[in-house]
Amino acid sequence: MSGTSDQMPTEPITAVGILSSHRQAPDDYYVVAQTTDGSDADLWKDGLFKSKVTRYLCFTRKPGPDVVVDVKLTDIKDALPEGFIAVQETLDTKEPAMRKRRLCVKMGPRTAAETAVFDFQIIAKSKHHLVHYTSLGEIKNMGIWYRIGEVPHLQSSLQKSNTVNNDAPADTESMRTISRPDNEQQSSGGYTMTAMDDVPFGIAPRLRDTSKEMQQVNLMGITIKSLAEIEEEFHYNFSTEKNIVV
């Protein structure tokens, strides 16, 4: 048995299959070998003649990218439901899985699934009901039931953390790092500070004393004179004007 009807498994089912023998289950697979009352859960047995052919439902909760989001039990002549795949062969012997009926499974990405199938149970009497389970259908006077539950997502806590961080005040230093320096401004009282504040401006030391050592240069016939030469050549003492006034 895969578990009791009132105990919810912690992980959803990721694959469903049919076995020809309940003793040949693959690793990590559960086999529904007995009904809820302890009877043989063989899905192939004939009520009139004893047959050597047996079929048992099995499933696994081994972690994977997909989960079983829905199951259906149809007649073998019916069209396959949209979005479903049929369990057509046994996992161990590759023989036909069932006769007259067909087990159909719908898979979906775990990251996008809100609900999935978590467990299977088989009951011997069709009139008996299992709490928290849904009836899949009947085979050979046995009822197959499955349980749906919410898929746990590891990302939920991370998403909640990200939401809290998005609602928190923005880090001023981080915003300053990604902004352009020439556009950055800070308000301080009535004065607006910019990125150019506190930047020293001045003449480079190597250029400060060049005027003292500058010599005459003839550039395209234009003579560049020193300050002393200009004072000497164009000096005017206003003597005429002073004599007239006196």
| Three-state helix/strand/coil letters over 98-149 | CCCEEEEEEEEECCCCCEEEEEEEEECCCCCCCCCCEEEEEECCEEEEEEEE
Full-prediction pTM beyond 0.85?
no
Q: Which residues are CB-contacts of 110 (< 8 A; sequence separation ≥ 6)?
A: 12, 64, 65, 66, 67, 116, 151, 153
- 10-31 tens-digit pLDDT: 999 999 999 999 888 899 999 9
CB-CB contact of 33 with 57 (8 Å) = no
pLDDT for 2 beyond 50:
no
pLDDT for 39 beyond 80:
yes
pLDDT for 135 beyond 60:
yes
- 169-226 tens-digit pLDDT: 555 444 444 444 444 444 445 555 666 666 666 666 665 655 555 555 555 667 777 7
The amino acid occupying position 208 is R
pLDDT for 77 beyond 60:
yes
pLDDT at residue 177, as a whole number: 42
Rounded percentage of the chain residues whose pLDDT exceeds 70? 66
Of the segments 34-48, 130-144, 197-211, which one has the largest average pLDDT value?
A: 130-144
pLDDT at residue 110, as a whole number: 96
What are the residues facing 56 on neighbouring strands? 19
Q: Which residues are CB-contacts of 145 (< 8 A; sequence separation ≥ 6)?
A: 120, 121, 122, 123, 130, 133, 134, 135, 136
Q: What is the dihedral angle through the alpha carbons of 127, 133, 136, 140, rounded to the nearest 10 degrees?
A: -40
Residue ranges of domains in the chain, CATH in brackets: 15-155 (2.100.10.50)
pLDDT for 146 beyond 60:
yes
pLDDT at residue 73, as a whole number: 96
Q: Which residues are CB-contacts of 114 (< 8 A; sequence separation ≥ 6)?
A: 150, 151
Band (pLDDT 50/70/90 cuts) for residue 56 is very high
pLDDT at residue 188, as a whole number: 46
d(CA 87, CA 96): 9
Higher pLDDT, 165 or 75: 75
Band (pLDDT 50/70/90 cuts) for residue 141 is confident
Token reading at 128: 């008996």
Band (pLDDT 50/70/90 cuts) for residue 122 is very high
pLDDT at residue 184, as a whole number: 46
